[in-house]
Amino acid sequence: MGVRDAMHRNALLGEPTVMSAPHLPKVAGIDPVVPVSTQTAAPLKAVPPAPAALIQDRLASWVSDLTTLHELTERLAGTSTLDDALRELLGAGAALVGARRGLLVLEPADGAVTSRTIGLGLAHAELGHIETVPRDATPYGSLLDGLPGTDGPLACPDIPGDASLDPRCREVAARLGYAASYALPLTTVAAGRLGAAVWLYDEPAEPLERQCHLIGLYARHASEHLARLTELERARADIAAIAEELLPIRLPRVPGVRLAVRHRSAPRGGGDWYDALPLPDDALGLAVGSVGGTGPAALAAMGRLRAGLRAYAVMEGEDPVAVLSDLELLLRLTEPATAATALYAYCEPGRRTVLLAGAGHTPPLVTGDRRTAFVETSLSAPLGMLSCWEAPSVEFSPGSGETVLLYTDGLLRRTADSMDHAFARLHAAAAGAPKVLRQDPGALADHVLHTLLPDGLDRDGDGEDVVLLAARFD
């Protein structure tokens, strides 16, 4: 806002050289720009410009440029996601070169992240028109493909009048109303070529030498920032893929109950998990849990904990207390410095009974047409905090058409409310679900999530995993 608007209003970089040139002093009240009469016997000698004034003007110009560059790089450094950084780079570059529109193509040479194109002042359809031009005929395509003579910026100061350009290039320029372009490669020594940015002028034009110098400095700094964010996005994608591989690929089908799950991992990789496994006699085991911490260590602990629970659920049968007791022992032996919460429910859909035990975990919520209530579970410590864990189990019977919601506390924490208020909002979201949505556990889960988190599960900056497992009993 402030920097770019001020630059466009004052035309800092496009100021005519006449405005900044030193004025010749007046001598004896005569303006020196007025020609001396030929009747003068001895014309005045040319008065040289004052060196001090010239140096002062240049210093002021340099200070102004450095201040502008500093403010723009500070704004860029404040971006924490790749998409935000790309938009900031494109907008700041347009201000520096005096353009109104542009586009940026991110296409890392190593394929670190998915290629993407963003526009400034260009609608999606207009970007589509530009992409119909043969790639090697576009400035960004030449830069990305490393064609000969594309080591630096590419300027097309007069697109309509340049007969050497591809006819399709001039046709699209005429249709979209731009007459000149200035393109820069985005490269770093370590990562190589990351992409290219192109700024578009409404009239034939070309940035001044001073503008080219500033945008070059800014682009070098921006490329390093983009390289770091690209690597970070790739690491986050790898962590998310690992987390998904550690969780069930698909939910089982058991007569009398329908299942749905919604799960998102934190950017740095959290330890929230869930499981649903068919057991003998058409029984069903449901589990949710959370391991403290983030990153690879939390993911590894989560994977071991879930694998252990599956084994104990098969061995211990219908005793959820014994399952969590065995899990406590496993955690103390394999992850002595880790704390975790867990909830395990042994379900018999044919009889519509649920026997569950929890270790420091949030209570399930039962919702239907006639009631919405939290299940009263016994107070217990998280796994790994006691030398021996054991708490009584709780049995309840969901009615026909009721849904049991199991979730992790990340769902509550993402609301940014106090826990009491978050519980109340969860209850209200489930109770207020339309009747038609209650027929489908997936639709009900989506409604609850949208009500609690209007910005969605993928909102940037959230540091909490979310798990919501819904089981609807027929």
Q: Which residues pair with 294 in a beta bridge?
A: 270
Residues 225 and 265 in one domain: no
Question: Alpha-carbon distance 23 to 12, whole Å?
Answer: 20
Residues 304 and 189 in one domain: no
Please tell me the predicted confidence (pLDDT) of residue 21: 38
Please tell me the predicted confidence (pLDDT) of residue 30: 35
Please tell me the predicted confidence (pLDDT) of residue 346: 96
Q: What is the dihedral of CA 82, 87, 92, 97, to 10 degrees?
A: 120
Backbone angle region of 252, left / alpha / beta, with phi > 0 → left and psi within -120 to 50 → alpha:
beta
Domain termination residue (choose one: 193, 218, 237): 237
Question: Alpha-carbon distance 101 to 7, whole Å?
Answer: 15
Domain that holds residue 158: 2-7+64-237
42, 345, 408, 424 from 468: Cα distances, Å? 96, 15, 7, 16
**Successive 10-residue mean pLDDT values, the chain, 474 residues:** 47 38 38 44 54 78 87 93 94 95 92 88 94 91 85 92 93 95 94 94 94 94 94 83 81 94 77 92 94 79 89 88 89 80 94 92 94 86 70 89 94 89 95 94 95 73 80 95
CA atoms within 13 A on the CB side of 69: 20
Examine residue 150 and state whether it is found in any structural domain, yes or no. yes
Examine residue 285 and state whether it is found in any structural domain, yes or no. yes
Domain termination residue (choose one: 219, 237, 255): 237
Examine residue 42 and state whether it is found in any structural domain, yes or no. no
Backbone angles phi, psi at 31, to 5 degrees: -70, 120
Please tell me the predicted confidence (pLDDT) of residue 42: 52
Please tell me the predicted confidence (pLDDT) of residue 24: 38
Domain termination residue (choose one: 211, 237, 263): 237
Angle at 79 between CA 146 and CA 122, to 5 degrees: 60
Residues 263 and 230 in one domain: no
Please tell me the predicted confidence (pLDDT) of residue 301: 84
Residue 133, domain CATH: 3.30.450.40
Please tell me the predicted confidence (pLDDT) of residue 303: 87
Decide: 127 and 229 in contact? Cβ < 8 Å: no
252, 370, 412, 474 from 403: Cα distances, Å? 17, 12, 19, 9
Examine residue 307 and state whether it is found in any structural domain, yes or no. yes
Please, which residues have CB within 8 angstroms of residue 168's CB and are 6 or more apart in sequence? 132, 133, 134, 137
Secondary element (H or E) of residue 320: helix 320-334
For the question of whether the overall pTM of this predicted structure is more than 0.85, the answer is no
How many domains is the chain built from?
2
Decide: 345 and 365 in contact? Cβ < 8 Å: no
